[in-house]
Structure 1
């Protein structure tokens, strides 16, 4: 007897191939989603660090500089010269220099 030859994988072969393709697609999409989630978490952590650094910088900028203590003793001219030197070096702002000078002169 002559049997006709099958052409193609048949029903079970097609189902098996479809299952393999679906499983592979699921695995790949799961890996992509995991990578995207990890990148999003890293970006969120980086944003949070930037916000914390900016907040720390604002707090540091808002804090007043340490006041210049009034010098003890009677060398007013020497004290004024030291204050002027600190002001020229940039260690004292204009306001701090004026306040310290006023204290020295008793104003």
Structure 2
């Protein structure tokens, strides 16, 4: 009778473990499914910033486009001064000078 009792005990333990494991697995799957359903809603929520943080759209006219074109001679003098002060290197000065003279 001892062998039969041991086999029965093993069957009960294995059956209980299987039932508990299945229940845990179903709970986890339900939790993952609910998270997956909530995730697109959260992504939509964060896709657009709140209305108070939306930056207003301004016209894209730059200050340079609005300002009148400076005299090329004045621009060359300014470049010469910057080169003399050591702000511009020789290569930078030549590149900017060519740009001004080109138009």
TM-score, normalisation: structure 2:
0.45
